Amino acid sequence: MMLIQCPHCGARDVSEFTYGGPADVARPADPLATSDAQWADYVYMRDNPRGPHDELWQHSAGCRRWIAVRRNTLTHELIATAEPGKLPPR
């Protein structure tokens, strides 16, 4: 069972949160200059790490704000949480 440290509400049960996917995938800055292959890479391709993973969660049954979470995908250990974009560098 995972307890996620919401930066706004404190430690809460994982069932209060909704998963939102990887946090370290950046949308192409200039859509008009982005090729089809680059779009496909952004939309579909994943690093899928086995270990620390930066991801977005919404505290949907709490403060409803989006947060960034660094979590180990193998052990489910919660390493850090922060406002989106504010996770410390790995």
Q: Which helix (H) or strand (E) holds 41?
A: helix 36-44
Which of 31, 75 has the CB closer to another protein?
75
- For residue 4, count CB atoms less than 10 angstroms from its CB and return exposed for 0-12, middle for 13-18, buried for 19 or more: buried
The CB-of-35 to another protein minimum distance in angstroms stands at 10
- Give the residues lining the site for another protein (CB under 8 A): 1-2, 14-15, 18-19, 21-22, 36-37, 40-41, 43-48, 50, 53, 55, 71, 73-76
Torsion 21-47-11-86 (CA) sign: negative
The CB-of-18 to another protein minimum distance in angstroms stands at 8
Instruction: Say how far apart CA 78 and CA 27 lie, in whole Å.
Output: 25
Which of 29, 75 has the CB closer to another protein?
75
Which of 32, 44 has the CB closer to another protein?
44
